[in-house]
Amino acid sequence: LSFAQADLHCNWLNFRVSGHDPSLFLNRIDFWKIDDVATYTGYSKRTLYNLTSRDLIPHRKKRGKLYFVPFEIQNWIEEGDLK
């Protein structure tokens, strides 16, 4: 069980315990900001901005702000460099 998977399971349990319909959890996406991705990956913000500008890391951009989906970042790390 990876850290990201354990975190997802904990979030799902918290969602259930709080009385929410569990089916809603599957449709819910939490986004990370650049600082979250920097902390998670260990990359500097400058490096992350460079990667996003070259579309080398999965991200979303809305009104000039960057957003990242945690499981996409985890998958990106696990994939490594494609050769």
How far is 42 from 73, CA to CA, in rounded Å? Answer: 12
- In this predicted model, what pLDDT tens digit does every residue of 11-48 receive, in sequence order? 656 656 666 665 555 555 688 899 889 988 899 999 99
User: Half-sphere exposure of 67 toward its Cβ, with a 13 Å CA cutoff?
Assistant: 9
- In this predicted model, what pLDDT tens digit does every residue of 44-66 receive, in sequence order? 999 999 999 999 999 999 999 99
Say whether 7 sits in a helix, a strand or coil: helix
Residue 62 region, left (φ>0) first, then alpha (ψ -120 to 50), else beta? beta
- Indicate whether this model's pTM tops 0.85: no
How far is 74 from 83, CA to CA, in rounded Å? Answer: 19
Q: Which domains does the chain have, with CATH numbers?
A: 1-28 (no CATH), 31-83 (1.10.1660)
C-beta separation of 56 from 48 below 8 A: no
